[in-house]
Amino acid sequence: MPAVVDKEKCDGCGNCVEECSVECITMEGEGDSKHAVVNAEECTDCETCIDVCEQGAISMTE
């Protein structure tokens, strides 16, 4: 169950990108529309990104 990002909640801070140990999270967009995107094939379901996301924009899929 890989992590997914709610684009409406994500403010593009990049904390999840910095903390992801497998580097499967990237930032897409520009300016105010910048948001995190998780590569589901590379995600190891460690939930570190969920822990560091202050906006609560990341959750696990079922």
The pLDDT value given to residue 31: 84
Q: Which of 32, 29, 21, 30 is nearest to 3 (CA)?
A: 21
CATH code: domain 3-60 is 3.30.70.20
Strand-pair category, 35-38 with 25-28: antiparallel
Query: Is this model's pTM higher than 0.85 or not?
Result: yes
Q: What is the pLDDT of residues 4-53, one digit of tens each?
A: 999 999 999 999 999 999 999 999 999 888 999 999 999 999 999 999 99
Distance CA 30, CA 21 (A): 24
> Residues of 32-52 as b/e, b for ≥16 C-beta within 10 angstroms?
eeebbbbeeeebeeeebbeee
Residue-range domain boundaries for the chain: 3-60
